[in-house]
């Protein structure tokens, strides 16, 4: 699984990112630019189900859900200006419970919950660089869904502020609905999710 990058020896910021063509999709992690390819039909079906369930669940609640493409700036210490931010990601589905983090263009700060549906071209990044970024920046819950092997891992922050071992592993089809620990009352049913086409 390769990660296409714009230039390995360059470090980019959100200021650079905003100048790139809008029809090219990129993410910045630590200033490294990773290109995002067009997702598969199955990937989009799963993202649609997750977003739809969350949208209905959160309709009368303070938390709000957003679906990619949606820029999430995650500034490092000392990156006061948006132009200087070196972490800009577009998770498949994100939930923000603090409206203070929402901006006109997207969001600035760690989401409360992130859902990533793996793609062949981005799986390595989602499970390593992005995982590390989300853990370090304070994402409270990180769901990783593998569409072809049909497994789900939900990572929760432990008392040390780190993602522990995932709560659920494959085969998820034998399990019932998987509850969110952050969004009380929300659960994702793997059988329903993986039936999406």
Categorize the per-residue pLDDT at 114 as very low, low, confident or very high, splitting at 50, 70 and 90: very high
**In-domain check, residue 71:** yes
**In-domain check, residue 5:** no
In the DSSP assignment, the letter for residue 38 is P
pLDDT number for residue 1: 41
Residue carrying the six token digits 């630590």: 30
**In-domain check, residue 180:** yes
**In-domain check, residue 158:** yes
Average pLDDT value for residue range 33-46: 89
**Number of domains, the chain:** 1
What is the percent of the chain with per-residue pLDDT over 70, rounded to a whole number? 91
pLDDT number for residue 167: 66
Tens-digit pLDDT profile for residues 147-170: 888 888 899 998 888 888 876 655
pLDDT number for residue 101: 96
pLDDT number for residue 162: 87
Does residue 106 or residue 8 have the better pLDDT?
A: 106
Are 89 and 75 in contact, with CB atoms under 8 Å apart? Answer: no
Q: Which domain holds residue 145?
A: 14-194
Are 4 and 77 in contact, with CB atoms under 8 Å apart? Answer: no
Are 88 and 107 in contact, with CB atoms under 8 Å apart? Answer: no
Categorize the per-residue pLDDT at 171 as very low, low, confident or very high, splitting at 50, 70 and 90: low
CA distance 194 to 19: 38
Rounded alpha-carbon distances, angstroms, from residue 82 to 71, 79, 98, 194: 12, 7, 19, 38
Residue carrying the six token digits 């994100």: 94
Average pLDDT value for residue range 56-60: 96
Categorize the per-residue pLDDT at 2 as very low, low, confident or very high, splitting at 50, 70 and 90: very low
Average pLDDT value for residue range 23-28: 89
**In-domain check, residue 134:** yes
């Amino acid at each position: 699984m390769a990660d296409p990058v714009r230039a390995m020896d360059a470090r980019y910021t959100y200021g650079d990112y905003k100048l790139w063509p809008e029809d090219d999709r990129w993410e910045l992690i630590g200033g490294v630019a990773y290109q995002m390819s067009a997702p598969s039909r199955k990937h989009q079906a799963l993202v649609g189900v997750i977003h739809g369930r969350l949208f209905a669940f959160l309709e009368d609640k303070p938390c709000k859900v957003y679906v990619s493409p949606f820029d999430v700036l995650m500034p490092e210490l000392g990156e006061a200006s948006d132009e200087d931010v070196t972490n800009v990601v577009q998770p498949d589905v994100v939930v923000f419970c603090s409206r203070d983090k929402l901006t006109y263009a997207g969001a600035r700060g760690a989401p409360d919950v992130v859902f990533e549906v793996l793609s062949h071209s981005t799986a390595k990044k989602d499970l390593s660089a992005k995982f590390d970024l989300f853990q370090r920046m304070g994402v409270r819950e990180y769901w990783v869904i593998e569409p072809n092997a049909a497994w789900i891992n939900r990572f929760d922050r432990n008392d040390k502020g780190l993602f522990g071992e995932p709560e659920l592993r494959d085969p998820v089809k034998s399990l019932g609905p998987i509850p969110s620990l952050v969004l009380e009352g929300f659960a994702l049913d793997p059988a329903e999710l993986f039936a999406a086409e």
